[in-house]
Structure 1
Amino acid sequence: MTRIFYLLYAAIAYAIFLAVFLYLIAFVGNLPGAPLTIDRGPEAAITLALPVNVALIALFGLQHSVMARPAFKAVWTRYVPPPIERSTYVMMTNLVLVILFLGWHPMTAPVWTVEHPVGAAILWGLFGLGWAIVLVSTFLINHFELFGLQQAWFAWRARTAATPVLHQPLFYKLVRHPLYAGFLLAFWATPAMTAGHLLLAVGLSIYMLIAIRLEERNLIDTFGADYVAYRETTPMLVPGLGGSAPRTD
């Protein structure tokens, strides 16, 4: 019965994530049909909107990074069974994103506007490409483990996960963090950049640069010299810029 619960819980967390992820695309892109977006929703004076929006970005960053750290997991799994630890992380991410959608105050002052149809089309294309890179990257590194389904399935089948092996499929031959590169492209590529959109793009870009530093510490702990060599020969986010080896101590 417990293993059935694990599997059901993981499936529900994943299904909610898919809905939240699709809404995130609509939220960032101001797509028609979404009642609340980055530039559409309850407006407020800048003295309220700015600190609230900054707090929402910080909440996402703290939740997403702190809960992913091994030290937190070591404590967290005393209370949350390991087969659903990742699904619980996904569920908490869902909750934080929903809070961001509901609590965000649009700041619609224009920063740039591209009205030329070709320029706008190129930016929309880059916006879509960014999200596509994000989705494909999750499958390249193991989509179902990333979102907790594999852990629950292995518990159901009484299987143990294989020892992780460092490999560089497709995008990972070009950059070390294509998932983050995709998010950066999606957040910045827009024909109509507003103050609120800029705030979100800057805030999440800062978060991702910090997250990369933290993740690479864990990757070096896991893969040792293999990851150090990979890091020294493969760019972090932009293809063709050469290897990068930021300090991780």
Structure 2
Amino acid sequence: MFAIAVIAMIYHMFYGMQKSYGNLEGALAIMANGALILQFPVAHSFLLSQRGQKILSLLGPKDLAISLSTTSFTIVASIQLFALFMLWSPSKIVFELPFEFLIYILPILYCLSWFLLIVATIDAGLEVQSGALGWISVLARKKPKFPELPTTGLYRIIRHPIYASFFLAVLTVPTWTADQIVVSLILGGYCIFAPILKDRRLIERHGEKYLRYKNTTPYMLPSKIIK
């Protein structure tokens, strides 16, 4: 499900959300699209909270709830993203790029952004990010062993490379439409501010170790400007 959701994101944003399958028009389309775009950041952030974690524990067998928590979270997030990108109702308002060279540059930058996101996901621990850790733990009949705090690879350069890479992806789409502007504004904004909450969670989880990492590694820009 995780892979399907990622493919849906890559494909539909490449075409500026014009290939999505929603068929609503007018006010109904605006309301439906608004609900689709807002449900992801709102629910995603909530499910990462303590209350959200309790709800996730109810989604699987009681004796496996803890082991499958990461899997449940990833499945829910994947369904959210799949719904957003598949059910969006296109406006059919397409903008021409202001410069011809962007026709060639943007697809390259878009692919590069997704490449960086994949690398960052691997650096963070592919088992956790894909939701596979839960089932691996269940099959091995042991508690999930979460990877250590990632500080190598892209995480050596910035603290939140997954968010940064996705932010680049929503800015470098090859096809710009009214729909894509909305998607880029909402999801791009989420990418900028959501890591603030993630920092807080990681401080609670790792304590002084994360504080030292936070003080020496920039937020999302590979510089000392943002910490």
* TM-score of the two chains, using structure 2 as the length reference: 0.86
Q: How much does 1:187 deviate?
A: 1.0
Of 166, 170, 174, the residue aligned with 2:149 is 166
1:133 equivalenced with 2:116 (yes/no): yes
Q: CA RMSD in A?
A: 2.3
Q: Secondary structure at the match of 1:210?
A: helix
Q: Does the C-alpha gap of structure 1 residues 75 and 102 become closer, same or farther in structure 2, counting only changes over 3 Å?
A: closer
Q: Does the C-alpha gap of structure 1 residues 169 and 194 become closer, same or farther in structure 2, counting only changes over 3 Å?
A: same
Q: How much does 1:114 deviate?
A: 4.6
Q: How much does 1:241 deviate?
A: 4.5
Residue 100 of structure 1: aligned partner: 84
Q: How much does 1:216 deviate?
A: 1.1
1:20 equivalenced with 2:5 (yes/no): yes
1:40 equivalenced with 2:19 (yes/no): yes
1:91 equivalenced with 2:75 (yes/no): yes
* 1:96 partner amino acid: Q
What count of residue pairs does the alignment treat as equivalent?
222
Deviations 1:174-233 (A, max 9, x none): 111111111111111034321110100001112223321211110010111222232233
Q: How much does 1:163 deviate?
A: 6.6
Q: Does the C-alpha gap of structure 1 residues 119 and 229 become closer, same or farther in structure 2, counting only changes over 3 Å?
A: same
Instruction: Give aligned-pair identity as a percent.
Output: 23
Deviations 1:47-84 (A, max 9, x none): 33333222111111122221122332135325631222
Q: Secondary structure at the match of 1:166?
A: coil
The answer to whether the 8 A contact 2:110-2:169 is kept is: yes
Q: After the TM superposition, which of the residue ranges 92-101 and 194-203 deviates more from structure 2? A: 92-101
Q: After the TM superposition, which of the residue ranges 16-25 and 163-172 deviates more from structure 2? A: 163-172
The answer to whether the 8 A contact 2:46-2:52 is kept is: yes
1:73 equivalenced with 2:53 (yes/no): yes
Residue 217 of structure 1: aligned partner: 200
Q: Separation in 2 of the partners of 1:226 and 1:137?
A: 20
The answer to whether the 8 A contact 1:232-1:243 is kept is: no
Structure 2: gaps (5+ residues)? none
Deviations 1:118-168 (A, max 9, x none): 432221111001111111111111101222222222222233344753341
The answer to whether the 8 A contact 2:8-2:82 is kept is: no
